[in-house]
Amino acid sequence: MAIAKAERLMNLALCLLGARRPLSKRELRASIEAYLEAGNDDSFNRMFERDKDDLRELGLVIETVENLDGEVGYLARRDSNRLPPITLDAEEAAALGLAAKVWQQARLAGAASGALQKLRAAGLPEDVDPYEAHGALEPRIPVHEAAFEPLMLACRDRRPVVFDYRKASAARPEPRHVEPWALECWRGHWYLAGFDRDRGAERVFRLSRITGRVRSRGTGFTADVPDVVTVRETVASWAGEIADGTALIRLRSGSGYPLRAKAAGVRELGDGWDELEIPYGHGLDAWLVEFGPDVVVLEPAELRADVVDRLRAVAKG
């Protein structure tokens, strides 16, 4: 749901839970800022009825009673809205604590810290360190792209977005209209999977290639969201990770470590160049272009032609 609506529902729930007597719609409207800004009575009534139904659907027990002034009042009794006791064993608590500590984003750190405190109150043993329970490595999710947070919220709220995107083979970015499905980190880079409205098909976007601001565009998706969104598998396929052949390239000495890491064989040619045999699959041409003048494709011929075409497209831009 949108952030404004979530805040409104939270305020309504707190009012109903904190009241010692049933509150009328008139009193609730005066207590919640969003209702004061709702406009006329009809707009407020429709908003309030939707919010009340949404809270009940989320599990809040709201009673409807007659108050002393003859008006209909609403109340959420605390004893009717208590959660059952939460019991976590050491493994479950440590895993949840670990998840809470993963996020290092400034905007998410506070929520994660608060969640961790609640986990301890709910049963996370004080002597259980999530790091010790799951190894000595400290987990982090590095996020440097400004597009991450608005896209994360758009994925959560099922909200279409527009952003400018520069492909590896293009000199200039172009606008993309996307229905965002999922974000995933793969080999140090964040990727977004979603439905590209302009192309009418699923696409994966690397966040580091998004330029400018991510803008929201309306509500509602036009395409069904898959039950399983395979971001990593799609990126691996496009990057040539899922290979069905081999390619022979020349690589400048001391450069292209990612290519060297996946090479099946390396031979020194002298004069500052090496010859590498690397797996060849769909999308390898786009990856090789990123290494610019440090790479020369020797074979196969179709891969060499694809790389040359991409370089020419960049040069023309």
What are 100-138's pLDDT values in tens digits?
555 555 455 555 555 556 555 555 555 545 444 444 445
Distance from C-alpha of 44 to C-alpha of 178, rounded to nearest angstrom:
33
Q: φ, ψ for residue 229 (rounded to 5)?
A: -100, 110
Q: Residue 138 domain-assigned?
A: no
- Quick one: what percent of the chain has pLDDT higher than 70? 72
Signed CA dihedral, 28, 30, 34, 35: sign only: positive
Task: Render pLDDT for 179-230 as a digit per residue (tens, 0 to 9).
Answer: 999 888 776 678 898 999 999 988 889 888 898 899 988 778 888 888 777 7
The CA distances from residue 259 to 93, 161, 233, 262, 287, in Å, are 41, 34, 19, 6, 10
pLDDT of residue 106: 45
CA angle 105, 130, 104 (to 5 degrees): 5
Domain co-membership, 59 together with 94 = no
Domain co-membership, 112 together with 70 = no
Separation of first and last alpha carbons in the chain: 41
Domain co-membership, 126 together with 154 = no
Task: Render pLDDT for 5-62 as a digit per residue (tens, 0 to 9).
Answer: 788 888 888 888 888 888 888 888 888 888 888 778 888 898 999 899 888 888 888 9
Domain encompassing residue 217: 148-236
**Three-state DSSP class for residue 171:** coil
What's the total number of domains in the chain? 4
**Global confidence as pTM:** 0.46
Give mean pLDDT, residues 69-89. Answer: 76
